[in-house]
Amino acid sequence: MDSARPISISRRGFLRSAAVIGAGGVYFGGARLYLKDDRWTPNNSFWVSRGREPTSAPLVGEHEADVAIIGGGVTGLSTAVHALLRSPGARVVVLDARYAGFGATGRSGGVLGNGTEMGTPPGTEDNVAHTIALIDRLQIGCDLERAPVTQLDPYRYAIGLKRAAQSLGAAVHEGSSVKTIEDASPAVARGERFVLRAPRLIVATNGYTPKLGIAASRLFPAHTAAAVTGPVPPEVLKDVPDSILVMTSREMYMWGRKAPGRRVLVGAGAEYFYDNGLFHRGDPFLFRALHRCMSKSFPALASYPFQHTWTGPMGCTADQEPIIGTAGTSGNIIYCGGYTGHGIAMGTKAGSFLAGMLHGEPPPAWMLRRTLEIPGEPLRYIAVNSVINLMNLGLFSMPKHD
């Protein structure tokens, strides 16, 4: 088996290389051009299939809050919890277009790690300990496994954060899609049936953020895939590591873990759809390739088909590091995202940073950095997919933190 050394490139060279790759026709993975498709991929994950939580009532009418949070994933709900732990009695309102845990949170593998995709920058060394401490403090039941690998049920974790936020006094409204965010003081989040005004508005929608007209040049959604097998006999499962990270030359980068019910969960790939598309039409070839990669790495699993398959968008940046930024003429709109698949523990910690910003405490400086701006379409489509596909093949990487 031949191997290829990853190419490391500076942020400055990102678009230049991507444009050359795109123009030269180097293309891997079959990226698709879905024009004018505003649908969202439903959450068909294994975690949600185990039982959906009843949703809270949507927001209707005109309302005011001290803090408005858009996004009912880990980041948004963690922000609500941390904000109310610091300021009991504050009027905190959380809005989610679908339901808590619908987005990347409820589709992830649920593995917790310190740091980010690119290393362990300041403030991320204790991500796992911080998350575990919060789970213990709030008594969240989410199938937490502390060792040998820290992992949990990410959908149940989101539901636990939602309940905790509500118990602390937050109003959580699901089925409340924000259509526009108005740059005003106070900021305004407007939906079809509601108007919400708040002096501080936090956008915690990760890969969905560009569709709101926020950070469109810094964040983009990349769709990834995951699958879980049926029950595997103990004698087979014992040879599968608790945490899976596989890169076979000319194959796909695969991650995974052991899942509840003696199952194996694996995931791989990333793909960008035109104009920040949020709908994946399905690709049987993708899951056949994923099963082939799993079987190649663990031959004993070859006879165990996938029982659940799903896809969904994760939030990414050009340098694969999460960001925090402000928007609006008065800077009262704060956004956060870009975890590149490492959002459970990092998103929890980011919630504490965002809550701190409400009290004038800046987050770690690296999260406020100036990132490479991603151009608009059609170059955006060519650039992002070209680099993503080379990363999937292990032929391209960004410089990592020491």
User: What DSSP string runs through 163-198?
Assistant: HHHHHTT-EEESS----EEE-SSSEEEE-SSEEEEE
Of the listed ranges 41-55, 172-186, 337-351, 369-383, the least confidently predicted one is: 369-383
Tell me the one-letter amino acid at 355. Answer: A
For the record, the structure tokens of 302 come out as 């070859």
Task: Tell how strand 200-203 and strand 194-198 pair up.
Answer: unpaired
Q: How far apart are CA 277 and CA 357, in angstroms?
A: 31
Q: Per-residue pLDDT averaged across 222-226, rounded?
A: 93
pLDDT at residue 355, rounded to an integer: 99
- Band of residue 35 on the pLDDT scale cut at 50, 70, 90: very low
pLDDT at residue 25, rounded to an integer: 34
Does the domain at 38-44+222-316 match CATH 3.30.9.10? Answer given as yes
Which residues pair with residue 259 across a beta bridge?
Answer: 263
* Domain residue spans of the chain: 38-44+222-316, 46-219+318-376
Which residues pair with residue 263 across a beta bridge?
Answer: 259
Q: Is the pLDDT of residue 37 over 80?
A: no
Give the residue, 162 or 8, on which the prediction is more confident: 162
Give the residue, 374 or 132, on which the prediction is more confident: 132
What pTM value is reported for the model?
Answer: 0.89
pLDDT at residue 3, rounded to an integer: 33
Please classify residue 65 by burial: count the beta carbons closer than 10 Å to its beta carbon, then call 0-12 exposed, 13-18 middle and 19+ buried: buried
Q: Per-residue pLDDT averaged across 219-227, rounded?
A: 94
233: three-class secondary structure by DSSP: coil
pLDDT at residue 100, rounded to an integer: 99
CA angle 265, 155, 359 (to 5 degrees): 130
For the record, the structure tokens of 1 come out as 């088996």
pLDDT at residue 13, rounded to an integer: 44
pLDDT at residue 240, rounded to an integer: 95
Q: How far apart are CA 132 and CA 112, in angstroms?
A: 10
Task: Tell how strand 194-198 and strand 61-64 pair up.
Answer: parallel
Homologous superfamily (CATH) for 46-219+318-376: FAD/NAD(P)-binding domain (3.50.50.60)
Q: Per-residue pLDDT averaged across 81-85, rounded?
A: 99
95-149 residue pLDDT tens: 999 999 999 999 999 999 999 888 899 999 999 999 999 999 999 999 999 989 9
Q: Is the pLDDT of residue 179 over 50?
A: yes
For residues 192 and 111, the answer to whether their CB atoms sit within 8 Å is no
Mean pLDDT of the chain: 88
Q: Per-residue pLDDT averaged across 30-57, rounded?
A: 79
Q: How far apart are CA 252 and CA 324, in angstroms?
A: 30
291-323 residue pLDDT tens: 999 999 999 999 999 999 999 999 999 888 999
- Main-chain phi, psi angles of 47, to 5 degrees: -65, -45
Give the residue, 258 or 372, on which the prediction is more confident: 258
CA angle 334, 114, 232 (to 5 degrees): 115
Helices and strands counted in the chain (H then E) = 9, 17
pLDDT at residue 383, rounded to an integer: 86
